[in-house]
Amino acid sequence: MKFRHELVYDAPPDQVFAMLSDTAFRRRVGAAQEVVSADVDVTEQGGGFRLVSTQVQNTAGLPAIARKIAGDTTEVVVTEEWPGHDGGSIDITAPGKPTSAKGSITLAPHGSGTRELVELEIKVKVPLVGGKLESLMAEQVKEGYLLEHEVGTAWLAGDR
């Protein structure tokens, strides 16, 4: 399933990049998403960075079919590789689960601000219900980015 989501910030791309590469910002996003626990590692690499965020997420709000596959909680590993300031790749996995999301994140000027574009290919390899579960996963990813945008808007306005 193809997933595409745009986030627009009222700040230039270099400030949005700095925010996205900040460990404290990523931890605040995890708190807003109410993850059970999170280990966030951001490593500077050349002109970019590498993020590995391992989260334990509560699945209480998911439909029964999804909880049957995921369990009461599920581990999610988000890896982002940013070779430069204009974007990079993203890989979302749930170790031991038949789900994945891979794609790209790009930053570009948008008026006086920045447009962040996330494009993913979401896959859930479960016979008969995989498509329904992909839609559910896409909704969960979208909700995560909506919270990230909320935290990011406040962050860029100085709420750190």
* Per-residue model confidence as pLDDT tens digits over 45-92: 999 999 999 999 877 777 777 767 777 788 999 999 999 999 999 999
Strand order in the sheet with 48-58: 2-9, 113-124, 99-110, 87-93, 73-84, 48-58, 37-45
Domain count, the chain: 1
Q: Report yes or no on whether pTM surpasses 0.85.
A: yes
pLDDT of res. 81 = 98
Residue 100: domain span: 2-156
Say yes or no to pLDDT of 107 above 90: yes
Provide Rg for the chain, Cα atoms. 16
Terminal C-alpha separation, the chain: 35
Mean pLDDT of the chain: 93
CATH code of residue 127:
3.30.530.20
The token duo for 83 is 């070779």
